[in-house]
Amino acid sequence: VSRKPYRGVFLTETGRKVAEESRIRHQTVEAFLRSLGVSAETARIDAEGIEHHVSAETLDAFRRAMTHRQA
């Protein structure tokens, strides 16, 4: 985070990357939960907690499972 007087707070390049990774993690978890039949509202709420604790390996497994379900 960088701060400019009277201009507010801004994310650094590193901060933007972290935020983007977090957004992608959230979307992956939410989509996986939806693919299991979880309601949109519950999936959104649950993804908020899960996204912070799920490993890269598990996220990859979620993506593979969703790909296989679509085929």
CATH code for position 10: 1.10.60.10
Q: How many domains does the chain have?
A: 1
Q: What is the pLDDT of residues 34-68, one digit of tens each?
A: 999 999 999 999 999 999 999 999 999 999 999 99
Q: What is the pLDDT of residues 8-43, one digit of tens each?
A: 889 999 999 999 999 999 999 999 999 999 999 999
Is the full-model pTM beyond 0.85?
Answer: no
| DSSP states of 10-59 | E--HHHHHHHHHHHHHHHHHHHHHHHTT--HHHHHHHHHHHTTT--HHHH
**Full residue range of the structural domain in which residue 62 is found:** 2-70
